[in-house]
Each structure stands twice: as structure tokens, then as C-alpha cells.
Structure 1
Amino acid sequence: MRNFSEFQLEATKQFAHTLIVVDDEAAADLDEPVKSAAKIKKPSRRDLAKPVAVTPSKSTDLKHPLRADVLVETSMSLGLICSVVKPKPNDGAPERVAKASQKADILCVDWEMHRDNGKTAVDIITRVIASDEANGGRFRLIAIYTGVADKVRILNSVLKSIPKTTRDRKCLAIRENYIESADGLRIVWLFKQGGTFPANMAEFAIPESALPSRLQKEFSLLSRGVLTNVAIATIASIRAATHHVISKFGKEMDGPYFQHRSTIRSPEDAEEYATAIILSELKNAIDRSSIAAKFAGAEALDKALDDLPADVELGDGNNFSTIDRSLYKKLIIDGIKPTLKTNQPLQNKGAKFFTEHLAQPLRADEDGRKLDLLKFAALTGLSADAEAPYAYHKPSLSLGTLVQDASGNYYLCVQASCDSVRVIAPQPFLFAKLEVVPEESISSHKDKIEFVVPRKNKGIGKSFVCLKLSDKAPYAALISIVFPPTEDEKVVAKKARDGTLYFEAATLPIGKRAEKHKRYLWIADVKRKRALRTVQFIGQEMGRIGFDEFEAFRRKYR
């Protein structure tokens, strides 16, 4: 039976394809082969402080040589494309490497290059992290593969070079031989063969022939959860299917697409259709790979929960229960209701108890647990939000756009999609006013939450706002706001000096109703199907049949 780390490694091997290695002492060949790292016996406590010598090749004057040919060949055997960069002094390598690293899965740098005491390495690392930050963050493994044994000094130098705001936001911290983060960054120190180092560092001494597989293992440690593995394997599956999918959409498919576009009521809708059919083909490729069953199925879940204690505690105060870990696994894998049917003691607690407390063992901190739930709701409900805005274009006002006025009120655009394009004059847009769900109602599940959106937070961390439609007739809270066209016959968001995006309402002529607010901040775009469901619900509420009738019969026959 596999353990969870094997699921992590399998997903990583499918995903991580590219490796960049930067080393000023890289060589395609040396006068004689560099000896493999000496096998070191497990030291006794008395020997831990004693240095262990590993003799480097005497046939070269390189201080910490790197066998590039061995590294490349070993990488290829594992399915990794390895590029070795040998920088010259002041040749602009940090900038080039940072740019190339945007496309690479793993980055590996030497520490001491041209005797600069880590300056080039730090320059590369900080540039790469800054680039990742500018693009919204990403999974990133950076390895420092060096013959300098002072790992504490090296890791401290790297950590201090990262801006404090980034360190705080990512919760960066130094562990045994690596810097870990809360959101997908791992910087690991590994020792080159050759040189002298304490025996308790032997596990970090890696020859070139073992470096690629070790980097795969280090990358897999970024994946801490079931959904992370699913995400990694899914993207890997898409990569593998890319050329096959592209081959299906040759030039001969343009004719049918043109016919489709020219015959529908709103030709612009065909633009979405073009991406939709391609995404559908990619989805078919993912389904054929059985990603969900492999990485989110019963076996993967079972292994993911092995780290829990044998007795799992749920609830608090008087409403408390301790159950066996195997039963807890069963609740998650088989579902709450089926498990309760076959277990009388669990039935006594009831389904509501387990629904409210099931995530507790995975995240003991109650506030953190609530934040996780809200993050998940926002992730599954929004296509884009102001905390992670569009990278290449501004949002346009259409069905599913969430905005906020200067008074703090939230509105959802429910305008038909075809009426959001070819806007050539100031046009009214229809909005449903939303209400903020009180904090106490979120915990008690009293209100049905329609949307969860990020709230601007001046401090570190993230908070969310839960929104719902009006408890009374939601159609009664519909309002119309007039907006002028801005770009390409659409209403496109403008950018304020502070970087926020907003839609500017039209200035109406004297005698017509003036708008109370001029600027409506763009908060998020709701996923299309959720927006359509909201519009459908409002329409159903408007279509309810109500009329006066004989009260006695109405009561009797209802």
C-alpha cells in the first residue's frame, strides 16, 4: 500500500518537466570523473560534531565543480529537461535567468559564483520571487546547490534579502535546511559532493547523479494536500494533451465557427464559445486520465488522513465526541449519512454535529477553519476578484459583475449578456442589491449565502464578506444605473490612482433622475452559471402566481 508522500511524488513527476541550473563552475567534462559522494555511516552522538571529509577531484582547479553532462543525462532519464547556465561576471545572468524561470518548474543555483559571497545567487532568487509576486504567486522550488557548508548563514542571507512585506504575507520561516512558506514557495539548501562538512549534514550531500530525483522529491513537498495533488496532476494532464487537442482545431474548423458566429443573435457570444469548446476537449483529456479517482479517491484520502491521532476529537464543551480514526476516515470517504446508518453511537450525535465539526481535526484553530471555508467558497464561486485582478485586461460590466458603491452597498449586475455589448450610448444596467450576512449568522448557518468575496484589508491576511439576496422579494431590490460606453462599445472598468478598478456612472441631463453615486468599485466577477442561477431565481420569484381567494378554501386545500 502506498503512503501519501508517494501520491505527492507521482503527481510531481507528471507535472515538473523543466529544470534550470546556474553554476559558474559547470563543466561538460573534467579530466577525470568526479567521485561520487562517499557513503557515510550513520554517526553516533559523539561523532555528530566531527567533520567528515569528502575528497574532490584533484585533476581540476575548480573549487566546487559541477558535472553538467551527468546532471543533464540523469535529468533526461527522469523526463526532466535540464538547462545548465554558466554565468560570466557581470553578464546580466540574473535578469535572463529570472525571465527564463517564469517558464521553468525548478530553479537550482550555486551560492558562491565568481567569489561573490552569494551576491549573484541572491540577485537571481529575489528577482524570481518578485516576478512570481507580480504575477499573483505560483508554486516555486528554488534549490541552492553549493559546496559552501554554512547553510544557516546562507538561508539567513536569502531570507533577509526578501522584502519584509513578502516575508510576512508568505509567513516565511527557516527550518532545518530550507525556507518554507504558507503559499507555495520552498527554498532548499543542498550540499555538493566534495568539501568538508559535519557528519549530521550527510543527508544533504547530493551527487549530480542524484540531484534531479532529489529535486523532484523536494518539489513534491510543496504539495501538502489532496486538492494540491489533484491540481498538479490535472495541469500535467492538460500539458500532455495540449498538442493532441490543438491538432483537432485546424484551419478547416474556421468555416463552421464562422457560420456559427454569423447566425447567432449576439456574435460576440461566439468568442466565449470558441474557448468553451477547447476547454471541453481538455476536460475530456483529463477525464480519460482518471485524475480525480487516482488523487482524490478513497485510497488517496485514506493515506492523507494517516497523520491524525488514533483517537480523533470533535466538538467542544458539553457537545464533545471522541471517535476512532478509522471511523473518522469513513465519515469523509463514504459520507456522513451512509456512515451514520451503520453506526448507532454516531447516530446519537446526529448528522448536524458531524457536518459542523468534521473539519476540526484538520485545522484546530476555529478562526482559521472559518477562513478556510470562506476561501473555498470564494474560490469555487468567483472567476476573478479585485484581490487577484485580471492580468492582461480590465473587467467589463456584464452579467455576474459585483460592484460596491461609496456607501458600502453591494450590487450584482443581472443584465442580459447580449445587452452588455455594442453599447454606443449611455445605457441603463440592471442590478440586484445584495445584503451583507451578519457574522453570527455565518456561524449558525441561519442565512443562505449566495456569494463570498474578499474584503480589502489594510493589515496582513485576508478577510471575506458573505452576501445574500434580500430575504423579502429579491426583485423589489432591483435598481437601474446608467453607464456610458468606454472601450470597444462596452463599459470597461477604469483604474484609480490607488490601483482600484471602478465603473463610472453616466452624468444625466437636468430634469432626469441623477445617480446618487458616481463610482462603483469592481469587487469581483461571479462564475457565469452562478450568476445565471441567481437571475433564474429572481425571475421565478417574480413569476409566482398570487391572487385573492376564499380564505377558508385556501387554507383547506393548500
Structure 2
Amino acid sequence: MADFLTVSKEVANNFLQNIVFIDDKAFNTADGATNHDFDAYAVTRSFAEKNKICAIYKPKTSADIELLARLAKKADITVLDWQINLEDEPVPLGAEEEDAENDDPRGPHTLKIIHEILSDPITGEGSMKLIIVYTGETGLTDIRDDIHKNLEENGIAATASAFEISTDNVKIIIVAKSDNEVDDNGNPKSKFIHNPEFNAQVKSYEQLPDFILDEFTKMTSGLLSNFVLDSLTILRNNTFRLIKLYNKGLDLAFLTHHLLLPTPQDSKEQMIDILSDSFQALLHYNSAGKRISITDIQEWLKNQEFNKPITVGGKAATINAAFISTWTEKGFSKAIAEQWGEDLTDDQEKAATNVKDKLSKSVSPLTNDNAITDKDIEFSILTHHKSIFKPRSVTPRLTLGAVIKGNKSGYWVCIQQRCDSVRLSGVTRFLFLPLKDVTAENGAKFNFVTPDGKHLKLSKKSFDLRTIKFAVADGEDSIKAISKDNKFLFESLYKDGHVDYHDEKDEAYEWVLDLKDLHAQRISHDFASDLSRVGLDESEWLRRRS
């Protein structure tokens, strides 16, 4: 088995497909080359040898910069020149003085593209991105500082170190162009005589593909990220197979299905489910889960540090990486036995079971930290929240699994079935169960976490059930939230004809999140099961023994 970093690099290499270069000096011959020139042929060839699609764009006007800024968002990797000279463009009357102050081609166009990427709600805040500044300039740290300052001035939090600027999810690396002269070992000759520490940042065209892959791997080398990259690669490789399967020849069959449904509009949700099942089948049959297999976990553990002391039957043991590696494959008791170098007695086996049970109930069974961490919350949100993928422009609808917060009454989860949440008119009563905020209660049990970290505990008692009335807006057939003060609100006030109806509990409810379908359905099912339980008069002695 290759080490984990090697596996991660293979996964990243399989995923990466396209690299976009933006450089005003792109050319196809090395004649008269300068530090700022860019050999498009040499670059595309070096990436072609690595089975990568390489696109090179040479901007000439400010309109090109606008265009390429949008294009850069779609690239797997974006590589930008720092000095971009554009053709002279007509200057608006009266703007000559302002234009004279901003005619330095070093930085402004590159900063504009970077800002466009980072300020985008998807590529900037909602996804991971690697950007390379590949420059003929020698002031690499000055470029780093200029980028860092520009991001901070635009309200984008970032940190700078060495030749990098990083946000939570984006990394920008400053790299120097080679003078195209190499030493006897094939490495670029020293370019920074007075700053020899900069020489490691000099990359020839031939070195760029491996350098970019290494840097991307550093960002993605993890169990879950490898799993996601491998899964996306599988879906990418089967894109046209999916298009073939869902071909236009099936349109008539789909239309027949649509027309024959009791509610034809349901066909939209059905097709989403069917396509999701196709994605799942592709991942299953192509063994996407191998990237989070025991083997990969064990390789990952070799680079991790754990040190949690435990006591089993009065004897000390330590949960370290080796212990966890054995635990994943052979079980908890065997991990203890291997660490002690001896078989466990029957009493020690029982003690080990008790320790494992206690660990399973603790907040952090693998570390000494007894507090809930941000990463625990992040993972729980990943498993429970459907709305983490909701674009800002999409308005929430009230249906099964919607969690709302009243400005008077606290948190509620909707248990109205989806079929009863659509095709509505007038006023409809929706069913809700209460959610208690137990964040401040140390050690309190809870069912899920809100995006802002609140711990919510569900009550499934029939006497806690509440109905709330909502009215359908004109032209709608479901209850949609309204956007107000950067929030989405459901308002329970409604009007029917010329009469206003008011309830003393009427209030505005803020949309908080949408639970995943199966989690929401389980809440509804558990409530119905609790509601239908049977209470009998019977012998108490017999009941306690049944």
C-alpha cells in the first residue's frame, strides 16, 4: 500500500482536468524571450504530457479582463501573470488625470480577477480554489503583500506567509518565471542572486504541472476530501454515459409518465430522485468508498498524533495512532491486547467493554478534549442539513423538515408531509414539533445543530404538537419565505378575501435550515409511532418482566 500522501496525489491528479493561464505575453517561440514572456507551446505541451487540458488566454482590453475573470471561476486551477499590459483604449473625457494615476500594469488586472473569484458566493466563499501568480517580476514578497492588502481592504479575511496568501478555502501562491536557462541537472539557474531564498519559487514550464499538483494535493490530502475528489472523478468520467442514458429519445416516455401521474407536477421531484439514484449507483459500482476504507484510514493514521490515556481493569493504556489503527480493523479489546503485548483475561475483556461503552458516550472518544469542537458541529451539519447546498437566491419553502424560529416562541420543526405542502390555496395549517435550545446546558442531550451552532433537542410528545396557519401568496401554490433584513421569514399573519384574521400567537418565523429528507421523515415517523402506542392495564409484576 502506498503512503497516504502518494494516494492523495493520485486522487488529486485523476481529478484535475483543466488549467487556465492568463498572460499578456503568451507567444509560441522563444526568440527574444524576456523574464515576462510566456511560451504557450512549451506550457501546453508540458501539461499535455500529464494528461491535462491547458488553456492560455492573452488579454488585450479591459473587456477581456472582465470576460476572463468570469472564466477563471470555472477552471480547476487558475494561473495569472502579475504584469498585464493592455492595448491603449479611449479614455473618457475628463478622466485623463485619474487614468494617469492607474496606468501601472503591475497588479491591477490580476487583483481584479482574484477579487472576482474570491468575492463570488460560490467560488469565493463556498468552494476550494488554488490560484497561482506566475510572474517575471522579482519582488515576490511585494506581490504577496499587495494581494494581501487588497483582499483585506475588500473585506476578505486572509493570512500571508512566505510566498502565499490564504483564506479559509482559497490559496494564492506567488511563483517566479524561469529565465529558461537550466544548470547541468536540468534545474533553472539561479535568478535571485541577492535573495537566494526566492530561488525555490522559480519554476520552469516543465516543472509547473508537478508543482501545481503538489500544491493542490496539500490542500486536499484528507480522508473525506479524497473520497469526494474520487467520487467527482467517477461522475466526471461518466458524464456522457449519463447523457446517453437520459437521452432525448426518452422524452415522449417521460411526457407520458408526466401526464398519467395523479399530480403531473410531481414528475420534477421524481426525476431528481431518479438521477440521484443513478449518481449513487455509479459511485457504488465504481467503489468510491475505497478512499475511506480501513486501509486508507490506517495510512492516514500514520501521519496523525493521538494521546488519550485510559484505564482498563486498573491497568493503563493509551489511545494513540497505532491503537486506533488496530481498533478499526480488529476491535477495541484486540487493540488493548496488542498494546499490552498479552491476551486479555475474561475480567479485562469485560472491563474493556465497559470502557468502550463510556468512550462511545463521551463527547470526544479519541482526544482529551471534552468540549464539542467546531469540526464535530461541521460534520453533524454535513450529515443532517439539506440546505447547505441552497444558493442564496433560492427562497425556502415550508415543508417537511423545515426548521423555523419564532420571534416569540423559539424553534420548531415542520412535520407536514410534502404532499400536503404543495398545491395549496388560501390558508393552510402546518404541523410543528418544538425544538428546545439546550446550548447553555452543560452535557445536555440534543438532536441536531443549527448553522450558528445552537444545540436543539426535539420533543415528540403529542401534547407538544402545534399547528400554525399560513397563507399562500398570489400566484403561488406553496408557502414561500420572504426576504427581509438578510433573513428569510415565514409570516403567519394572513388575509382571506376582505377579512383579516389575527391570532394572539401570530408572529414572524425565521427560516433556519432544511433537514435532509430521511432525517425529517424519521422525526415524522417517530412521532406517529409514539402517538399510536397502546397502553394496557396489566399485572405490574408481569409488565416489569416482559
CA contact (8 A) 1:314 1:360 kept: no
Distance change (3 Å), C-alpha of 1:282 and 1:511: closer
* Residue number in structure 1 paired with 2:463: 476
Alpha-carbon shift at residue 322 of structure 1 (Å): 2.8
Equivalent residue, structure 2, for 1:47: none
**Residue in 1 aligned with 2:26?**
26
| Structure 1 match to 2:478 | 490
The equivalent residue for 2:235 is 238
Q: Once superposed, what is the RMSD of the aligned Cα atoms?
A: 3.0
Q: Take 2:307 and 2:46, find their aligned partners in 1: how far apart are those partners?
A: 44
Match in the other structure for 2:382: 379
Contact 1:241/1:282, CA 8 A, preserved across alignment = no
CA positional deviation for 1:257: 3.0
The amino acid across from 1:94 in the alignment is I
Residue pairs, 1:111-190, within 5 angstroms: 111-114=82-85, 116-132=105-121, 136-163=125-152, 166-168=155-157, 172-182=158-168, 184-190=169-175
Letter in 1 for 2:417: A
> In the aligned structure 2, how far is the partner of 1:341 from the partner of 1:321?
10
CA distance in 1, matches of 2:398, 2:275: 25
Q: Give the drift of 1:319.
A: 12
The reply on whether 1:527 has 2:513 as its aligned counterpart is: no
Q: What do residues 246-280 of structure 1 show as CA deviations (whole Å, max 9, x unaligned)?
A: 11112333344334434444433321110111121
Q: Which residue of 1 aligns with 2:214?
A: 217
1:388-537 alignment, distance < 5 Å: 389-407=390-408, 409-441=410-442, 444=443, 447=445, 449-455=446-452, 464-470=453-459, 474-486=461-473, 487-496=475-484, 498-507=485-494, 514-537=503-526
How high is the TM-score relative to the length of structure 1? 0.82
Name the counterpart of 2:57.
85
Assess if the C-alpha contact under 8 Å between 2:326 and 2:334 holds in 1. Answer: no
| Cα deviation, residue 508, structure 1 | 6.3
Quickly say closer, same or farther: Cα 1:359–1:223, change in 2 above 3 A. farther
2-side partners of 1:279 and 1:535: how far apart? 23
Aligned residue-pair number: 501
What code does the residue aligned with 2:469 have? V
1:1-47 CA deviation, whole Å, 9 max, x = no partner? Answer: 4222212211211222111111122111122xxxxxxxxxxxxxxxx
**Cα deviation 1:143-163 (Å, max 9, x = unaligned):** 011122322211111111113
Aligned match of 1:12: 12
Give the 4+ runs in structure 1 shifted more than 6 A: 508-513
Deviations 1:498-544 (A, max 9, x none): 12111121336789771513311111111111111111100011101
Deviations 1:81-130 (A, max 9, x none): 11112223x53333222200121110111112336232222222112111
Residue number in structure 2 paired with 1:199: 196
Q: Which amino acid aligns with 2:23?
A: D
Q: Confirm or deny that 1:351 pairs with 2:333.
A: no
Aligned to 2:220, the other structure's residue is in SS state coil
CA separation of 1:276 and 1:550: change in aligned 2, threshold 3 A: closer
Contact 1:410 1:435 in 2 (8 A): yes
* In 2: Cα distance, 1:556 partner to 1:65 partner: 86
Contact 1:426–1:506 (Cα < 8 Å) also in 2:
no
For residues 319 and 135 of structure 1, do their structure 2 counterparts lie closer, same or farther at Cα, with a shift above 3 Å needed? farther
Tell me the distance in 2 between the aligned counterparts of 1:109 and 1:528.
43
Give distance in 1, aligned partners of 2:79 and 2:409. Answer: 48
What amino acid does structure 2 have at the position aligned with 1:104? A
Task: Output one character per residue of 1:282-305: Cα deviation in whole Å (capped at 9) or x when no partner.
Answer: 222222322211x11123212212
Q: Which has the higher contact order (CA 8 A, sep 6+)?
A: 1
Within the alignment, does 1:306 sit opposite 2:302 as a pair? yes
Q: How far does residue 401 in structure 1 lie from its aligned partner after superposition?
A: 1.0
Question: Do the aligned partners of residues 429 and 229 (structure 1) sit closer, same or farther apart at CA in structure 2, a change above 3 Å counting?
Answer: same
Aligned letter for 2:355? G
Query: Is 2:223 the partner of 1:226?
Result: yes
Q: Distance in 2 between matches of 1:196 and 1:234?
A: 42
Identity of aligned residues (%): 21
Quote the offset at 1:220 in angstroms.
Answer: 1.4
Tell me how far 1:423 sits from its aligned partner: 0.8
Structure 1 residues 484 and 507: alpha-carbon distance in aligned structure 2, compared to 1, 3 A threshold: closer
Structure 2 gap segments, 5+ residues each: 86-103, 180-189
Aligned residue identity for 1:185: V
Task: Report the Cα distance in structure 2 between the residues aligned to 1:340 and 1:527, rounded to whole angstroms.
Answer: 38
AA aligned to 2:285 is R
Q: Look up the equivalent residue of 1:112 and give its one-letter code.
A: Q
Amino acid at match of 1:73: R
Structure 1 unaligned spans of 5+: 32-58, 456-463
SS at match of 2:304: coil
Pairwise CA distance, 1:226: 0.8
How far apart are 1:466 and its partner, in Å?
A: 1.8
Q: 2:310, 2:105 → 1: CA distance?
A: 56
Offset of residue 165 of structure 1: 7.6
Asked whether the equivalents of residues 19 and 55 of structure 2 are also in contact (C-alpha less than 8 Å), the reply is: yes
Partner secondary structure for residue 518 of structure 2: helix
Higher alpha-carbon deviation: 230-239 or 250-259: 250-259
Q: Indicate if the aligned counterparts of 1:98 and 1:124 stay in contact, CA closer than 8 A.
A: yes
SS at 2:527 equivalent: helix
- Distance in 1, Cα, partners of 2:207 & 2:545: 79
Deviation digits for residues 200-257 of structure 1, max 9, x if unmatched? 3333221112212211221111114210111111112111111101111123333443
Matched, 1:72 2:69: no
Q: How high is the TM-score relative to the length of structure 2?
A: 0.83
In structure 1, the partner of 2:326 is: 330
* Structure 1 residue 358 displacement after superposition: 5.7
Change (3 A) 1:72 1:550: closer
